[in-house]
Structure 1
Amino acid sequence: MKKYIIYIGILTTGLISGWLLFGNSSNVEENHNHETSQTENQQWTCSMHPQIMQPEPGDCPICGMDLIPAETSADGLTANEFKMSTNALALANIETTVIGFNTTPKEGLFLVGKIKENEKTNAIQTAHFGGRIEKLFVNSTGEMVTKGQPLALIYSPELVTAQKELLTASEIKNSDVSLYNAVKNKLKLWKLSENQIHKIEKSKTIITNFPVYANVTGVVSTKMVEEGTYIKEGQGLFTIANLTTVWANFDAYEKQLSSIQLGDEIRITTNANPNKEFKAKISFIDPILNTLTRTVTVRAELNNPKGTLKPGMFIKGFITPSNTKNNQQKTLIIPKSAVLWTGERSVVYVKKEGLEPVFEMREVTLGNEIGNSYEILDGLYEQEEIVTNGTFTIDAAAQLQGKKSMMNTKSGNVITGHENHIGMQETSNLEETTNSIEQINVPLKFQQQLHEVLLAYLQVKDALVNDNSNVAQKEASILLKNLQLVDMKLLTENKSHKLWMTLLNKLTTSAKEIEITNDIKAQRNSFISLSNNITKSVESFGANQKVYKQFCPMANSDKGAIWLSLNENIENPYYGEMMLKCGVVQATIE
């Protein structure tokens, strides 16, 4: 019996020792396993393609960007607010800045435009009597004429009859002076001079072809008649422009109008002579907005005694505000990198005060550009902390949590804008990418000139691929020069000529917009129109070059955008290094 008691004691002691040694370790192991399971459950996603979810970090299989930790919960927050972990912020390289009012000098504005004839000095040379044009002494536009110079010879039956009446009246003028004076005054109303009337009386010879003399000195800008044309009294023959003064017409956007006033000084340079500067004052601001371009014409008048400024020249202008007394202004400004712009809305992300990183999407109203910053008119307040680096990543995190974001105005349904991106289906809403293009036969020389335009366009594209806005500006200048060298006179058919005129205007406008700014976001926005119209040009006329028409469905605010490339490999100019391989080859243009 005593032996059994000893065995039971030993067993009991062993059980107690085992519990003391291994009981707590099971809890430790359980806690350890719980932490491990949390790590194992961490999902990783792409900031630009939120539909990508992977259990470990790596590269996005679509665009090659580094994956970031995906947030799984944002409980207790408003529709505009969401939460990110400190670890996720560090991995995504998110930076924030406290904003405040800055007292900065008012900066001027850059505008682009063209030289135009001064309409106030234009004159229309009319026929003072009806008849048939027998001879034109001025046969083309651009010819210089001086006041009193003969322009044409006109046969006028009415004038022949009036001369016969003059000769008859002159024989009886001593007995009937009133009749003589009436006939003479009739000829004066037809702009015959006293000397001409006296010559007819003295020679007693009727002039059948009567000369028309220039009323003003200037350049013929419009020719309205040809030899043999029958004209009526008062009908226009020529438009004569006096180019000793010209207009400098600029296009100003809506948001720039608050900084432009009558009397502001503007410094003007031309593409033909960029080193020479002309100074003038703003003399006219068009009261009507162009609803198609959303611009207003701003005008200055320039003296042009030597004719160096020619109508049609491209020009640049820099406006300095005239009210120098108030040349300082207190403005709330934020870096451009903080703003996500959808075309209709401008969005920033505000970091809320608290222990955990919580962000709120905020729509703001932008004012003028000030260097690399925007003026804030509404939506933000002094001393608020906003995201200034990694804004796209923050926006993607909001999308993943079903919160309001740049591309999702309603919370609950996460709209990424890339639902069709996997598989790369062509979902562009652009009219330019859906319309069929009719090929037009044009001379080989025109194709060669268009080929030079295409090569310059490709240089602009490569600069945007490399995220280099300064190079894009320089290449856009070369593109503009190549566009000017295209000889549209080679297009003899009316259809091809009109099409190129339309495309040339759009190409020039887009290239100028890229040339005048080093804001790569604005350049890429203008590159959309530039690509659409260079593609139309190549598809319509050909350019002696095989090119690939490529497409990104998420560019242009998810409407999609195209571009041309000589290489079949995708290099996206709308996102550059951030999403270099996003896109597909849509077509090959031989």
Structure 2
Amino acid sequence: MKKYIIYIAVLAVGLVFGYVLFGTSSESTSSNHTEHADAKPQMWTCSMHPQIMQPEPGDCPICGMDLIPATAGADGLALNEIKMSENAMALANIQTIIVGNASATDGNTMSLSGKIIPNEEANAVQASYFEGRIEKLNVNFTGEEVRRGQLLATIYAPALVAAQQELLTAASMKESQPGLYKAVRNKLKLWKLSESQISQIETSGKVRENFPIYATVSGTVSEKMAEEGDYVKQGQPIVKVSNLGTVWAVFDAYENQISQLKEGQKITVTTNAYPNKEFEATISFIDPRLNTQSRTVSVRATLNNNDGILKPGMFVTSKVNISKVNDSTSQITVPASAVLWTGSRSLVYVKTNPNEPVFEMREVTLGSKNGDNYTIVDGLSNGEEVVANGTFTVDAAAQLQGKKSMMNTENSEEIDATNHLAQVERITVPEKFQTQLKTVFDDYMTIEKALVNDNAETPKIAASALLKSINNVDMKLLKDEPAHSQWMRLKKELKNAADAISKTSDIKIQREHFVHLSAHLIHAVKTFGINQKVYVDYCPMANNDVGAFWLSTDEEIRIPYFGASMLNCGEVTDEIN
């Protein structure tokens, strides 16, 4: 019995040791398997180029170094978040605001842009009442004032000569054939000859070869439609006369503004020619048709112009009082500069960490535009902090880091930073606008070539010229809202970078601002075009190893960010035709 007790004790001790040695290991292994099953796939990155993210080990596509495991969440950022340095924030002049509920009384006006045109209801066309040749035209130029009853033209009319012969013959037989006599006189009246003119022909017994045409209205000649010596048909227009005592102001309203407009609504109109003068008007017509190209409807108001100070063709702006919502409701508004509008999406950048420059791209739903603010229907909450100035720069930084951006909406760990501009869509604009943008590009190239040659004085001078060229780009040539919004934001960023370069002779600082200047000009050239083939170059080592782009007219790489010390770093990533 004692022997059996010893055997049992040894067996128990063995079981305990076996559990300690192998049981915990098995649990640990099982636990590890579970943890690995729940973990996200391992990503691989380059120690020199952290923007590179690949799902498998291998070589860095930029420098060829072995990829290392990327520490998931090492920076504490979500995939759609971006962190910027304080220096980059200062260079780009990035500013944020805290959004809040705006009461219905805040910004209860809406701005519309348009132009002055003649009042078509007051237009008149002076036509020839009979067929013939214009012997004398008394209207010398477009814009000339005419008065009702004024002699406009003298016409030789062979048919009228024959009709006068008939009149003289009928007058000699009016006692015996009064019906014929009356019919001939009425025929001449249909050709707009007055009773006195007909009686004068009859009394003199002479046939007139040339007949006058008199103005039937007073106004301004808006178009000459015939010249001396022209042979005109009966009813053919000679001149068009516009009475400019009243004019029309025609505005374009976008789809999200239509609900705020109605006929009979009071508006205030201002013009650049008289910035301190306001004109009161009433909306008289809203076009029932939507322009499918610009997504706008025409809104018309009639203005008194007795003083003649409003000229057709003038650009005007109107302020429209919009209907107020109930006091119990409120709405979130943001500055227009905070919104990136891609046509199908509206985006803002929200500061997610109040103590650090960490930003997240957020898609929002826009309401109406009131003045310089957009109403946010969905996507933002009261008290959130958004980027109000420098939004494009934050988006460019997100693109470089392969994060969500205006051009890329996917979680793009596998997207190479050099492809971030590939999805910029071309907007069709007038050739005149492209020519003006080409001048901006030429000034940019002067700066670039100087930086390539380590010259710090030329960029300072050329940047001042660049500022003037940017200001000379006529935004009024752009017809639709997407193009308008794109250029407004790009213009602001281009001016900020050019202004900073013009104020320093430190080539290091010039090159830092040239990074931003290049990013936004590439965006502008790809969006609008300049009627010239240019190359987009990229160097991953520039901008403190974050990478930077620039434009060039040659395929040969000559980098402006290092000068002679590293002249050929980089590659051509795109061609803009």
Aligned partners of 2:95, 2:141: CA distance in 1, in Å? 65
CA-CA distance at 1:324 after TM superposition: 6.3
Deviations 1:344-400 (A, max 9, x none): 3223467899xxx999754221123456653212344x4585655897898789879
Aligned partners of 1:358, 1:71: CA distance in 2, in Å? 20
- Structure 1 residues 71, 335: CA separation in 2 closer, same or farther (over 3 Å shift)? farther
Opposite residue 550 of structure 2, the aligned amino acid is G
Match of 1:583 among 531, 547, 550: 550
- Structure 1 residues 326, 302: CA separation in 2 closer, same or farther (over 3 Å shift)? farther
CA-CA distance at 1:278 after TM superposition: 1.1
Opposite residue 363 of structure 2, the aligned amino acid is E
- Structure 1 residues 476, 143: CA separation in 2 closer, same or farther (over 3 Å shift)? farther
Opposite residue 221 of structure 2, the aligned amino acid is V
| 2:41 is aligned with 1:73 | no
- Contact 2:132–2:156 (CA<8 Å) still a contact in 1? yes
- Structure 1 residues 333, 89: CA separation in 2 closer, same or farther (over 3 Å shift)? farther
Give the equivalent residue in structure 2 for 1:499: none
- Contact 1:71–1:401 (CA<8 Å) still a contact in 2? no
Q: What TM-score do you get using the length of structure 1 for normalisation?
A: 0.58
Match of 1:556 among 523, 529, 534: 523
| Gapped regions of structure 2 (runs ≥ 5) | 1-43, 55-68, 448-463, 496-516, 532-536, 538-545, 555-577
Tell me the secondary structure at the aligned position of residue 153 of structure 1.
Answer: strand
Give the equivalent residue in structure 1 for 2:134: 133
How is 1:407-486 mapped onto 2 (pairs within 5 angstroms)? Answer: 407-411=407-411, 413-415=413-415, 418-419=418-419, 479=472
Match of 1:509 among 474, 477, 481: 477
Give the equivalent residue in structure 1 for 2:269: 268
Tell me the secondary structure at the aligned position of residue 152 of structure 1.
Answer: strand
Opposite residue 509 of structure 1, the aligned amino acid is L
Aligned partners of 1:583, 1:477: CA distance in 2, in Å? 18
How is 1:273-288 mapped onto 2 (pairs within 5 angstroms)? Answer: 273-288=274-289
Opposite residue 293 of structure 2, the aligned amino acid is L
Aligned partners of 2:45, 2:300: CA distance in 1, in Å? 61
- Structure 1 residues 412, 243: CA separation in 2 closer, same or farther (over 3 Å shift)? closer
Deviations 1:35-78 (A, max 9, x none): xxxxxx999999xx94599xxxxxxxxxxxxxxxx984259x9x
CA-CA distance at 1:153 after TM superposition: 1.1
Tell me the secondary structure at the aligned position of residue 583 of structure 1.
Answer: strand
- Contact 1:528–1:556 (CA<8 Å) still a contact in 2? no
CA-CA distance at 1:335 after TM superposition: 5.9
| 2:524 is aligned with 1:524 | no
How many percent of aligned residue pairs carry the same amino acid?
Answer: 44
- Contact 1:417–1:554 (CA<8 Å) still a contact in 2? no
Tell me the secondary structure at the aligned position of residue 197 of structure 1.
Answer: helix
Q: What TM-score do you get using the length of structure 2 for normalisation?
A: 0.59
| 2:210 is aligned with 1:195 | no
- Structure 1 residues 338, 42: CA separation in 2 closer, same or farther (over 3 Å shift)? farther
- Structure 1 residues 350, 148: CA separation in 2 closer, same or farther (over 3 Å shift)? closer
- Structure 1 residues 528, 186: CA separation in 2 closer, same or farther (over 3 Å shift)? farther
Aligned partners of 2:80, 2:476: CA distance in 1, in Å? 46
Give the equivalent residue in structure 2 for 1:537: none
Aligned partners of 2:420, 2:325: CA distance in 1, in Å? 56
Give the equivalent residue in structure 1 for 2:148: 147
Deviations 1:299-339 (A, max 9, x none): 21111112221112222222223x46969962133566764
- Structure 1 residues 42, 160: CA separation in 2 closer, same or farther (over 3 Å shift)? closer
Give the equivalent residue in structure 1 for 2:344: 344
- Contact 1:513–1:523 (CA<8 Å) still a contact in 2? no
Opposite residue 251 of structure 2, the aligned amino acid is F
- Contact 1:399–1:415 (CA<8 Å) still a contact in 2? no
Opposite residue 189 of structure 1, the aligned amino acid is L
Opposite residue 280 of structure 2, the aligned amino acid is K
Aligned partners of 1:282, 1:209: CA distance in 2, in Å? 47
- Structure 1 residues 454, 180: CA separation in 2 closer, same or farther (over 3 Å shift)? same
- Contact 1:262–1:283 (CA<8 Å) still a contact in 2? yes
CA-CA distance at 1:132 after TM superposition: 1.1
Give the equivalent residue in structure 1 for 2:377: 377
Opposite residue 194 of structure 2, the aligned amino acid is S
Tell me the secondary structure at the aligned position of residue 419 of structure 2.
Answer: coil
How is 1:41-440 mapped onto 2 (pairs within 5 angstroms)? Answer: 50=51, 72-74=71-73, 82=79, 101-105=101-105, 106-321=107-322, 323=323, 330-334=330-334, 339-348=339-348, 362-369=362-369, 373-380=373-380, 382=381, 385=384, 388=387, 404-411=404-411, 413-415=413-415, 418-419=418-419
Give the equivalent residue in structure 1 for 2:18: none
Opposite residue 378 of structure 1, the aligned amino acid is D
- Contact 1:427–1:559 (CA<8 Å) still a contact in 2? no
Aligned partners of 2:275, 2:154: CA distance in 1, in Å? 45
Aligned partners of 2:367, 2:267: CA distance in 1, in Å? 21
- Structure 1 residues 232, 524: CA separation in 2 closer, same or farther (over 3 Å shift)? same
CA-CA distance at 1:295 after TM superposition: 3.1
Q: How many residues align structurally?
A: 432
- Structure 1 residues 198, 326: CA separation in 2 closer, same or farther (over 3 Å shift)? farther
